[in-house]
Amino acid sequence: MKKIKYLILALGLLFVMNGSIAQNPEFSKLKKGLPKKDATDQTNNFYDNEHTFLLQHSGKVEVKGEIANPGTFDLSKLPLHSVIVKEALPDKEGNSFVGAYRYDGYSLYDILNEYVLAKKNAKAFRPIIDLYVEVENDKGDKVRISWGELYYPVHLHEIIIATKVMQIVPSKTKEYWPLPKESKLIIASDLLTCRNISNPAKITIKSLEKDFVVNKGMKPLWSDKLVLKINGNKAGEFVSLPKGLTELSYPNIFYGRGKGIHGVTPFKGAALKEFIKKHISLTADNLRTGMITIAGIDGYRAAYTVSEIMNRNDQSEVLIIDKDNYEGAGRFSIYPACDFFSDRAIMAVSEIHIDLP
């Protein structure tokens, strides 16, 4: 019996030496420090009932772009965060389910926290709400995430680089979903999970490359019309919202990062995604890198991604309003229910730019 034990130990050491454990998740579950499987449902936690597997990752990520201190970031010094996701992807026949998982990893909020911003357009426009990041993997796949998604949301730390995974297995069917092997970028608020690319290795911070005339303190703050542009081409002009859009009413506590509380009255409008949906196909490419710029007549603007407006799984929609506007906000205004702060709420909206790959 002892000889058999020693033989098993020797085989295990051999696998370590040639890297097989790092490549095979069935072995990686044996790594020290991974949560134990709660096979007998001793707790009320649904998300510890299966083995947790390690995902391959270098443990580092390159950060560059419009910052004063670019470099390589060591993920190991950060705390782990957990998110639960149901992954699905678009295909020719509709949307296909991939699996349900708990991912553990490192929050982009924490990764980028101590990098000093150096916006190219800081002299013309100081607010940081026109920033976004590109995340790229070793295969050249890219996705975009707005600065608002990272630092303004109601729910923080839901965008992570995952280095561990657990299948969330149905108790009756016992269906085990395919296990990824490489680390993944996980954006927990996405419905279709096209932005969950494998092995993210590079993060580039950018600002919108669009010029608007800034007229801070403009009075009256009013725009007679709203112009919609697709890839720079005019696609529509509006003096009111089209008829037939579903009216939504969102109770809110309207709170700014600078001025604090503005009010607690409800906002009534239509989902911005419903207003623009005929102009955007929900393809993987559009959801990964499509951007939407919303600008007021005074030059105040904010960056949004196509995915955060068109592809949410939390029903925290971005509203477009053309009546009962808050604080004399002009004919059209924007209210992002997904944000904690009011900074990306745009008054007197005069332009919406949709930029697709």
Q: What is the pLDDT of residues 157-211, one digit of tens each?
A: 999 999 999 999 998 999 999 999 999 999 999 999 999 999 999 999 999 999 9
CA atoms of 199 and 167, how far apart (whole Å): 19
Query: How many CB atoms are located within 10 Å of the residue 204 CB?
Result: 18
CA atoms of 300 and 292, how far apart (whole Å): 14
Report domain extents, the chain: 28-207, 226-355
The structure tokens listed for 208 are: 């919108």
228 in Cβ contact with 354 (< 8 Å): yes
Write the pLDDT tens digit of every residue in 3-17: 444 444 444 443 333
With 90 as the cut, is the pLDDT of residue 254 above it?
Answer: no
In whole numbers, what is the pLDDT of the chain averaged over residues? 89
Query: CA 4, 8, 11: angle at the middle one, nearest 5?
Result: 140
Closest-CA residue to 356 (of 175, 229, 191): 229
Q: Residue 187: its pLDDT value, please?
A: 98
Kindly report the backbone phi and psi dihedral angles of residue 144, in degrees, each rounded to the nearest multiple of 5, phi listed first: -120, 145
Mean pLDDT confidence for 112-133: 97
112 in Cβ contact with 130 (< 8 Å): no
Q: Residue 267: its pLDDT value, please?
A: 87
Write the pLDDT tens digit of every residue in 128-146: 999 999 999 999 999 999 9
Mean pLDDT confidence for 321-340: 82
Is domain 226-355 in CATH 3.90.420.10, yes or no?
yes
264: confidence class by pLDDT, cuts 50, 70, 90: confident
Give the residue, 44 or 71, on which the prediction is more confident. Answer: 71
pLDDT exceeding 90 applies to what percent of the chain? 73
Q: Give Cβ neighbours of residue 321 (< 8 Å, ≥ 6 apart).
A: 267, 268, 269, 270, 329, 332, 333, 334, 335
CA atoms of 347 and 328, how far apart (whole Å): 8
CA atoms of 7 and 1, how far apart (whole Å): 10
Q: Residue 253: its pLDDT value, please?
A: 85
The helix/strand/coil state of 266 is coil
